[in-house]
Chain A
Amino acid sequence: MAKGIRDKVAILGMGCAKFGERWDKDEDQLMLEAYEEAMADAGIEASQIDAAWLGAAFDAQNIGPSGIPLAVALRLPDIGVTKVENYCASGTESFRGAVYAVASGACDIALAMGAEKLKDTGYGGLPVRTRGTTHDMIGITGSAPGNFAQLASAYRGVHGVGKDDLKRAMAHVSVKSHANGAKNPKAHLQKAVTMDQVLNAPMIAEPLGLFDCCGVSDGAACAIVTTPEIARALGKTDIVTVKALQLATSNGWEMQASGWNGSYFHTTRVAATKAYDEAGITDPRSQLSLIEVHDCFSVTELVTMEDLHISKEGQGWRDVLDGFFDADGQIPCQIDGGLKCFGHPIGASGLRMIYENYLQLLGRAGERQRQDNPVFALSHNLGGMPNQNVSSIAIIGRADA
């Protein structure tokens, strides 16, 4: 019986490019930026990397398909490079590939890269793309905000929350992330905003206004992983290990059957339960030190607090308004600004979250460093849309936890 990934793999080094509108850079340059930081942190040579994974969702925008763009960008020594794509969860997916390779014993050291170049489309928001020949005849080619906005209509109906109450809680999510992003020099958006600004912003997809939506950015993030033993042999003393790594993929139940009420993420609930079990966490509300979740939209973050079993069902909006997830709250959520302000280069986001959690666990997060010695840090990376998606959860923590 498999026992899971807990403490089998350590993070040897991480790096993250500056996120934003990187008009002057191609995706391969962004990957190099993240890679150089990660390699300096890991203290290894390229020849020591046994295998690599690249997570990218919209490869057509800049680099093209396959593992080759990563191999070429970093001039990797003809090792196996695998490109993975799992919508917006592609970053965590690449991490999963590298971690599993090390855990299996097939590799000593593996690299995970997540990258995206979105600002070559010519317009704001995500590129419009096909979802397959048959889907396009019967499905919706809507926008991401349009898909996620539907959570709000269902959440209000299911939990009897007033339109204004929910809108205010959603606004609090964004105001909090902007305040956090303002302290992050790598963030795409580094400016605080007020409740009034958020509440009065132009409507993108009812009820999501402009500030309820995350930034669409260029960027890359990188992780180098190995076993705790090798990490120690390489001289690392302060070790962060992977405690849990779970992925849940919709099988069509939410979208096609009846039973799901439209107000939550079924997959996140499944992945969270498995992840806590894998990490040995019994009470996430008291045991998690900080979390980075997939706040593509304010309402996504809000319902995710419930799906992660931190807030009670139907009560997440109250915890949000109470400041429970603020930088100085009990469990800070998006202490780095999140997708909302750090930015959302799709394939990089999952690794960017792990990067922040890694920095926080090591006390290296600068001005935004959490002062209470974090132990367990969770990241939640989501791709698709509420009724059909890929939800991934990574929990990392101090090796001795």
Chain B
Amino acid sequence: MIEFGILSFGAYVPVTRLQRSAIHATNGWFAGGLRGLAKGEKAVANWDEDSVTMAVEAARDALEGIDRTTIERVAIASTTLPFADRQNAGIVKEALNLPDAVGALDVAGSQRAATSALLAALGGNETTLVTAAEITTPKPASEREMTSGDAAAAVLVGTGTPIATFVASHSITMDFVDHFREAGKAHDYDWEARWVRDEGFARIMNPAIAALLEKAGVEGAAIDHFVVPVAVKGVPEMLAKKAGIGEGAVADTLGANLGHAGAAHALVMLAATLEKAKPGERILLASFGQGCDLILLEVTGAIGSVKPRLGVSGWLARRIESSNYAKYLFHRGLLQLDRGMRAEHDSKTALTALWRNRKAVLGLVGGRCTKTGTVQFPKSEVSVNANDHAVGTQEDYPLAEVPAKILTWTADALTYSPDPPSYYGNIDFVGGGRMMTEFTDFAGDALDVGADLRMMFRIKAYDENRGFRRYFWKAAPAF
């Protein structure tokens, strides 16, 4: 049956899991009170990731097997968008190689940015790809540093065969400032947790949840999944109890091995919930931030027919453990290491050239010769085919989703990399096409000729002189 609702979902969790014990081992002398939080691990983005690249990966996870030309609008929700003035959703659109005739929307400014974006999509009639991503920016030795983590999620809303449909929503807006981060500032400033819990979560959310349930004509006990993206221990349980929602319905906040992914966390938890939801179940998604957004969904019989490529569980299983807290600090710009003169190389981007080549650069679109079938990257006027230099015969040939294999590789300790050694080499795409590219997310000993690869959208270089970042595709171990 053709209906409007959530058509698919996906998530992304960076591969590195920083051990909280390693953070405490360094900071414990100063912040001994955080000892109780010094267990488990948090997901931290690589140096070449930001909210846009993570949103792209979550979208790819959600769009597995889905015709991308059906998408009419792309939204990205985050409080850590890389660009203040350059449509971030537009970069996501290019990386996904979507048709130009789509709308775009950046949603920011609050921890409930993702639910607000989702509500807008559910309230409209377009097929909208809602992404949410956060690269968290906690101060070293803060409680936030222990509880936060980086992640992204994506939900496709539109007309088709939904796996979940919209039942009701309720939003409250009040300028309750539990924490804040002024534009351009690196870190959050938090007010006392007890006050936030009692006056914020309890006094704002409890009545709002009750109002939603009444509006929907649903008893609290009928909620099967209560999704509350709040890292403060006990708060989701307290809210559930007040609303009459069973304790067993309270969703795992993923604190043990991911951390709280800021504005993205609502969709990350929703994605984790949809992975295990059953037909007929009700999901109540409740996000908090200067008020709250409450969304009631009902899972349809189509659940299970559409699966993310990995989903939250799959991403959590793809992990590299790290106890290198210094590396994390350096990658976040919180530790000034001597990078050497080679790091002074100017990475100015010619915007004219970027525009001309945007499909190749942002979308990894190569060329295929319509005469010989030769696949190549990048596309060129004259085919690279050694025997037939056909001119002007190439059609677009997207390579981002094509598996590849390592032809040659090295671990270069001389060239500057924020994460030395720099791994790169020549790779061959299955079905044709070759390029030299950087490798990312590799544990060093995993590299070998013939190793299977999957391309990932990453930051290629930072232009620190002008405040610009250059995106491109890198090869990661296949997953």
Contact = CB atoms under 8 A, between A and B. Distances in A.
A122 interface: yes
A206 B438 CA distance: 15
Interface stretch (A5-13, A139-147, A288-296, A368-376): A139-147
B414 A150 contact: no
A197 interface: no
B361 A146 contact: no
A61 interface: no
Interface string B407-429: 11111111110000110111010
Contacts of B411: 203, 205-206
A257 interface: yes
A235 interface: no
Given A142-B422, A205-B421, A154 B342 contact: no
A256 B377 contact: yes
B357 interface: yes
A109 B97 CA distance: 59
A122 B342 CA distance: 10
B424 A140 contact: yes
Interface in B387-416: 407-416
Contacts of B470: 136-137
Interface in B415-471: 415-416, 421-422, 424-426, 428, 432-438, 448-450, 460-461, 470
A129 B374 CA distance: 31
B412 A387 contact: no
B376 interface: yes
A157 B449 contact: yes
Nearest to A207: B410
A330 interface: no
A151 B386 CA distance: 22
Nearest to A126: B414
B434 A256 contact: yes
B28 interface: no
Contact of B360 (A125, A136, A138): A138
Interface residues of B, number: 52
A187 to B, nearest CB: 23
A102 to B, nearest CB: 34
Contacts of A133: 349-350, 353
A200 interface: no
A122 B433 CA distance: 39
A12 B449 CA distance: 49
B434 A153 contact: no
B1 interface: no
B378 interface: yes
Contact of A256 (B345, B384, B461): B384
A262 B434 CA distance: 11
A146 B437 CA distance: 12
B472 interface: yes
B173 interface: no
A261 interface: yes
Contact of A137 (B353, B384, B415, B421): B353
Contacts of A154: 407-408, 449
Of A129, A138, A157, which is in contact with the most chain B CB atoms at under 10 Å from its CB? A138
A253 B409 contact: no
B357 A153 contact: no
Contacts of B426: 150, 255, 262, 387
Given A146-B412, A257-B384, A134 B357 contact: yes
Interface string B354-373: 10110011000000000000
B26 interface: no
Interface string A323-364: 000000000000000000000000000000000000000000
Interface of A: 121-123, 125, 128-130, 133-134, 136-143, 145-147, 149-151, 153-154, 156-157, 203-206, 251-253, 255-259, 261-262, 386-387
9 contacts: A128-B416, A134-B350, A134-B353, A137-B460, A140-B437, A146-B412, A146-B422, A204-B413, A205-B421
Interface of B: 340-342, 345-347, 349-350, 353-354, 356-357, 360-361, 374, 376-378, 380, 384-386, 407-416, 421-422, 424-426, 428, 432-438, 448-450, 460-461, 470, 472
